[in-house]
Amino acid sequence: MDCSICTSLPYILRPPRNTICAACYEGARSIISLTSKHENEKPNNNNLLSSSNSNKGFTNALKWVKEMKEMEEELNEKISYLEGFAAALKDQIHTDIQIIPGNNEPSIPAHRALLATRSAIFRNVLDSDECKAPANQTITLAELNHEELESLLEFLYSGSLPKEKVEKHVYSLAIAADKYEIPFLQKFCENKMLGSLNSSNALDILEVSDTCSNLNLKETALNFIVRNMEDIVFSARFDAFALKNPHLTVHITRASFMEIRNRKLGL
């Protein structure tokens, strides 16, 4: 069928050019219902928009898209304004505390105020330091190496991290986010792990989710392992995993037994 919306040459169609394919029809309905939902959620909404009036629906949808675009530009400006914090870390502007990683690696200068706003745990440590005289000018995060600490600080200052650093340090960052109560980093790491879950990293993700008590991630990783038992259980990684995590190995065994039983019962 020649669709008057998605064809590349709409002008060759015969007037009144009102044929529309199923994909465009569904798409148009979805856009209008999404816009209506957005309008209905607005405070002080006087319900000008009716989903039965499709012309009005499209006018509103376009208005909404423009508003979103403006909002995006505003947020981008705000983000680049806030990036001043990352520069303060990078160029060590007025730093007032040294953060020490493990293994006697060199410390990294940072800012007490920023650390206190990002983590409830750092805040407590810094608050209790102020009672002491003289003030303790260091915090030691012995479980992180220098590179991991650098990535943690970069995230705390800028709210994001380059892809290569995320891939390399996501597990240690997830554990640090849990330990130092940094919810935004917890969510960030969870999303990255869920997005990259595969046969070669499922055991690592299960281990990290257990350490961080992240039930959603743990359940997803466990289900993935059960559905890909052959690839995972016969890998060399599984031997080391089972020795280190006997309780998780029990979980995997039970879950895969249930899976086999349910399959047999046709559930």
List contacts with Zn ion (CB under 5 A). Answer: 3, 5-6, 21, 24
Nearer to Zn ion, 14 or 247 (CB): 14
Per residue in 3-26, is it b (16+ CB within 10 Å) or e — as a string? bbeebeeeeeeeeeeeebeeeeee
Residue 1 CB, nearest approach to Zn ion (Å): 8
Residue 8 CB, nearest approach to Zn ion (Å): 11
Residue 220 CB, nearest approach to Zn ion (Å): 36
Per residue in 189-215, is it b (16+ CB within 10 Å) or e — as a string? bbebbeeebebebbbbbbbbbbebebe
Nearer to Zn ion, 3 or 86 (CB): 3
Cα gap 194→202, rounded to integer Å: 10
Residue 10 CB, nearest approach to Zn ion (Å): 10
Cα gap 106→75, rounded to integer Å: 36
Tokens of 238: 């599984």
Nearer to Zn ion, 24 or 255 (CB): 24
Residue 28 CB, nearest approach to Zn ion (Å): 9
Nearer to Zn ion, 5 or 175 (CB): 5
Q: Which of 133, 147, 164 lies closest to 102, judged by CA?
A: 147
Nearer to Zn ion, 27 or 109 (CB): 27
Q: Which of 18, 15, 22, 16 lies closest to 4, judged by CA?
A: 18
CB 57 within 8 A of CB 76: no
Residue 5 CB, nearest approach to Zn ion (Å): 5
Tokens of 175: 């554990």
CB 157 within 8 A of CB 85: yes
Nearer to Zn ion, 25 or 184 (CB): 25
Which parts of the chain fold into alpha helices (H)? 22-41, 54-82, 84-90, 112-118, 120-131, 146-158, 163-179, 183-196, 202-211, 215-227, 229-233, 236-244, 246-264
Nearer to Zn ion, 24 or 194 (CB): 24
Residue 260 CB, nearest approach to Zn ion (Å): 46
